[in-house]
Amino acid sequence: MPKEYELLQRKSYAKEECPKCEEPFPEFMRGLVQRSKRWFFIGPKRKYCAIICHKCKQIIGWESP
């Protein structure tokens, strides 16, 4: 398990509802799906952990621990 998984389990929810299906508290696989932390490996850091809805299985945003 990535270290972000443990860090995000203790944080509050990033989104209150899914903007696509309007399901409350859409967290699914929190901290497990990630992208590169840097934009083209030379730019500034960006949010890299996906926020996935547990009902529609769509990526609805990104967060960092």
pLDDT at 47: 84
pLDDT at 40: 66
- Walk along the chain (65 residues) and give the pLDDT tens digit of each residue: 777 777 887 777 766 788 888 888 767 788 888 887 766 666 667 788 888 888 888 888 888 88
Could you tell me the sign of the dihedral formed by the alpha carbons of 20, 39, 36, 14, in that order?
Answer: negative
Whole-prediction pTM value? Answer: 0.71
Q: Where are the beta strands (DSSP E) in the chain?
A: 49-52, 59-63
DSSP 8-state assignment for residue 28: -
pLDDT at 48: 85
pLDDT at 19: 86
pLDDT at 46: 79
